[in-house]
Structure 1
Amino acid sequence: MRAARWLAAAACLMLSGCVVPAFDTGAFERNAIGALESTVSTARVAALALDARVGNRITLAYADTVVTEAEEAIGPVEASFGSVDPPDPTLDELRSAVLDQLGDTGDLLADARIAVRRGDSDTMAALAGELRRTADAMDQHAEALQ
């Protein structure tokens, strides 16, 4: 009976699109770690593609596909993490910090997409470095939460 009520409540929340709180601090921190780790991987792949394009080791079309898909991958991560309310006010700062890092990464990826399509090697090289630094910072943030 209890499981049925839980499933019914979960289904109602999913169907209504409500934002729900994480059940405890640990769950919220695990969500933050997951969002950061996912974005770290995405940023690193995009940086590799930029470096490869600057070195003429991949085609423009392939670099564009990799960077565009990386940019598109950030949105759902950001939306998913952003839709979970922190269970208490002490986690508001964590929520803001993670969302800022995700947003900054998305902005860098948008700039990278534009640079790839313009064939701007200098900007691609600079953005590859920025993406690596951003990925390192997110990685350190995720490790600090563990």
Structure 2
Amino acid sequence: MAPALDSGAFQQNAIGALDSAVSTSRVAALALDARVRDRITLAYADTLVTEAEEAIGPVEASFGSVDPPDPTLDELRKAVLDQLGDTGDLLAEARIAVRRGDTHAMATLAGDLRRVADSMDQHAEALQ
């Protein structure tokens, strides 16, 4: 772990992590919606959702490995890591739902992923 050079650099790192997670969440939500509507195959939905789940881990690890330069940013670190963790949990649930062919769960999780993406997007906007 290494500290960020300054508060601005840490905030930019947080924005980058959130933006990456927003994109990942939205792709997974679109895949779930498409699968529920039978517009993509189960195999393709599984690939998209699994890749989204695999993509969130490095984002979380990368952001988590940067120490806030001062204690005033500890709350920001925790908030971003919580959102990234929530996203990872939803993506894991989505993968399971896809593999089970559970369209009801997929529809619910697509909405959950859009909501978490909206929340992260708003958080990133507030940091700019």
TM range (shorter): over 0.9
1:53, distance to aligned residue in structure 2 (A): 0.1
**In structure 2, how many angstroms separate the alpha carbons of the residues matched to 1:20 and 1:129?**
36
Superposed CA deviations along residues 104-143 of structure 1, whole A, max 9, x for unmatched, are: 0000000000000000000000000000000000000000
Question: Please, which runs of 5 or more residues in structure 2 have no aligned partner?
Answer: none
Q: How does 1:33-72 map to 2 (within 5 A)?
A: 33-72=15-54
The higher relative CO (CA closer than 8 Å, separation ≥ 6) is in 2
Q: Distance in 2 between matches of 1:99 and 1:72?
A: 16
Which digits, 9 at most, give the CA deviation of each residue in 1:12-33, with x for residues without a partner?
Answer: xxxxxxx110000000000000
CA distance in 1, matches of 2:101, 2:66: 39
User: Which residue matches 2:70?
Assistant: 88
| 2:114 corresponds to 1:132 | yes
The CA RMSD over aligned residues, in Å, is 0.2
Using the alignment, how far apart are the partners of 1:78 and 1:114 within structure 2? 21
What is the aligned partner in structure 1 of residue 55 from structure 2?
A: 73
* Residue 142, structure 1, aligned to residue 114, structure 2: no
Q: Which amino acid aligns with 2:39?
A: R
1:68-121 Cα deviation digits (max 9, x unpaired)? 000000000000000000000000000000000000000000000000000000
Larger radius of gyration: 1
TM-score (norm 1): 0.88
How far is 1:34 from its partner? 0.1
What pairs with 1:111-126 in structure 2 (closer than 5 Å)? Answer: 111-126=93-108
Per the alignment, residue 104 of structure 1 pairs with 86
> Identity rate of aligned residues, in percent?
84
Report the Cα distance in structure 1 between the residues aligned to 2:79 and 2:20, rounded to whole angstroms. Answer: 16
> Structure 1 regions of 5+ residues with no counterpart?
1-18
Which residue type is aligned with residue 142 of structure 1?
Answer: A
**Count of aligned residue pairs for this structure pair:** 128
